[in-house]
Structure 1
């Protein structure tokens, strides 16, 4: 059966499912749960598809390999979508976000932490929302991203196109990345980065290497590079190593990273909890394949849940944020979040 038809059929039956395509591939995969049980992960020891929230103290949801049907197919998409949906955006949050960023900068200057990632949720009212068409638009527009649609009748419906790997593990070898800094793409990746963005990305790299050195060996890093993700550019460093402990310890060590939380971790996370005034839910959590056994190789490939939206009937909640340092300009930070909403609004 065609996966898009399977999505429609499973949604009608109100059963959990996920459909996804990995970056730079043309294979669409789907995992469709046979019952509507809400199954949570115990220490990331299961096999299947994991969907984890930002708050690591909350349970991650798993669609287990043994309780689901798996489909995959090659897809070819053309840009022949009918744009019959219209939307109206909530524009009331600009002043709130600017004040939040000012508060964050002040806390950094008062040495409460070095960096904090502050986010917001923008609600968009949509007429004639079409799930399959929206998902296909995401797949078409963001070929270099991890693109997904995830549904559970007891949780909700989420879609996204994320550029960031949390970690990829094959047996005892892993790859992760440090991704930070944002510019709007204007036709070239040959751009100049400001000290604020360079510093922010280095914070993330140093933190990850420091944390991994306690549980990993032979850690190597790539040269820093500029990458394109949708209409945006970011600074990236790729990090490799050998795992000397289990998968669960590695995930718990990496999540949440400073790229979605801040530095030091606990102080910045507490500031987020106290000041963002909304729940991130699964935004800046992670998702992906967990402990799959393929050709005698146990592999996991997990992505940070960025550039995502939650769908409730015709109300779309778009989640966006940005890294704040002592040199952050609150107005520019607002503009950065606005640029990031374009990724999602482009497909509505």
Structure 2
């Protein structure tokens, strides 16, 4: 059997995903199932390891070519912190298929007795209030503060949850990355950091969010209120303008809509800007573009150094791969990288589920807590956890 093959449907690849033995990335353009590890991208050992990541990946792909290995694609995830090691591999075998389709997959039966929030809801509101005070004092203009839920569960199988996520939001970016040592990063991100296909570059920054409602009239009202919100539009503009500014250094004929639009997932409304352009230098890969953009203000804040420092002071846990990036790049430079949100990490110790919210000068701590609660709903619903008291 060849190392690279094409499957008929994304559903076939979703059915073939096996935690611990493969990694999966599904987008509206198609699905990749990476099986086994032929070669892992070595760590940098530098505090700014992301800076030379594209060069290291290019070198590994060169090794694959020289060895005659048929797979010339790297798949995996990059963490939030610039000095943390990425999990990127050339798989032994790569299967490609179509995009996921909407489907009602049965949820995994989990024996979750309870969820432990980190920090507590009160602690999260206090952190947001402190950030608002620092922003009003001029220390920075925006910071994204996250919280997590820890669930103790044994014998957890991510595969049914990954299939449920792909079926629920087939227009998003569903992923499951084997991190080694019995750990799996999985989720369904609505946000494309950047993609390159041929000369075409696409980015889709999202910032400004509102929970959806099961009542159609209320759902439409919430969408309209989000689109009209001065606070959310400002938060979104900070992100979209920075993304466009970075891409202008690499692209020609960059198209940036003057106004945001609305996009919806099963649980959230988001303000969205679809940025498109043409790459000026075909030697610049999708991964090089992604590392130039990461982290956007949508997951960190602005200015970036001050926001990173605030996250270090105000958050009570290590983000790990949360708010990093996940995807693939091939030897031609084509690839797709999504922002690693709406995700969880499974390990022998249980599950850690993450969500965050952008904090600006007029943020309300109660509203930001409610936003993170709504975002946690994506994963909790796929896990079959209903009516959890996480706020």
Q: Which has the higher helix share?
A: 2
- Equivalent-residue separation in structure 1 for 2:373 and 2:120 (angstroms): 11
> 2:240 matched to which residue of 1?
205
> 2:80 matched to which residue of 1?
54
Could you tell me which runs of 5 or more consecutive residues in structure 1 were left unpaired when the two chains were aligned: none
- Equivalent-residue separation in structure 1 for 2:362 and 2:204 (angstroms): 24
- Equivalent-residue separation in structure 1 for 2:335 and 2:101 (angstroms): 26
Matched, 1:97 2:133: no
State the 1:277 CA deviation: 2.6
State the 1:127 CA deviation: 5.9
The alignment of Structure 1 onto Structure 2 pairs a total of residues equal to 335
1:258-273 correspondence to structure 2 within 5 Å: 258-273=297-312
Local SS of the residue matching 2:370: helix
Could you tell me which runs of 5 or more consecutive residues in structure 2 were left unpaired when the two chains were aligned: 1-6, 44-52, 62-72, 384-391
Q: Is the 8 A contact 1:287 1:305 kept in 2?
A: yes
- Equivalent-residue separation in structure 2 for 1:154 and 1:130 (angstroms): 15
- Equivalent-residue separation in structure 1 for 2:179 and 2:108 (angstroms): 27
Q: Is the 8 A contact 1:129 1:314 kept in 2?
A: no
- Equivalent-residue separation in structure 1 for 2:103 and 2:183 (angstroms): 29
> 1:7 matched to which residue of 2?
17
1:93-132 correspondence to structure 2 within 5 Å: 93-126=120-153, 129-132=156-159
State the 1:167 CA deviation: 0.4
* Alpha-carbon spacing, 1:28–1:177, altered in 2? closer, same or farther (3 Å): closer
Q: What is the TM-score normalised by the length of structure 2?
A: 0.78
> 2:386 matched to which residue of 1?
none
Matched, 1:291 2:291: no
RMSD: 2.5
State the 1:35 CA deviation: 5.2
> 1:192 matched to which residue of 2?
225
Residue deviations 1:190-231 (CA, integer Å, cap 9, x gap): 512221101100111222223333343322113410100221
- Equivalent-residue separation in structure 2 for 1:163 and 1:69 (angstroms): 27
Residue deviations 1:33-89 (CA, integer Å, cap 9, x gap): 24585745553424321310111233322121xx42012346767535265324221
Q: Is the 8 A contact 1:100 1:275 kept in 2?
A: yes
- Equivalent-residue separation in structure 2 for 1:255 and 1:170 (angstroms): 19
> 2:183 matched to which residue of 1?
156
State the 1:292 CA deviation: 4.9
State the 1:288 CA deviation: 0.8
State the 1:160 CA deviation: 0.5
State the 1:162 CA deviation: 0.2
Q: Is the 8 A contact 1:164 1:303 kept in 2?
A: yes
Q: Is the 8 A contact 1:309 1:318 kept in 2?
A: yes
Q: Which has the higher strand share?
A: 1
Q: Is the 8 A contact 1:21 1:28 kept in 2?
A: yes
Match for residue 104 of structure 2 among 79, 82, 98:
79
> 1:31 matched to which residue of 2?
34
Q: What is the TM-score normalised by the length of structure 1?
A: 0.87
Q: Is the 8 A contact 1:216 1:242 kept in 2?
A: yes
Q: Is the 8 A contact 1:84 1:128 kept in 2?
A: no
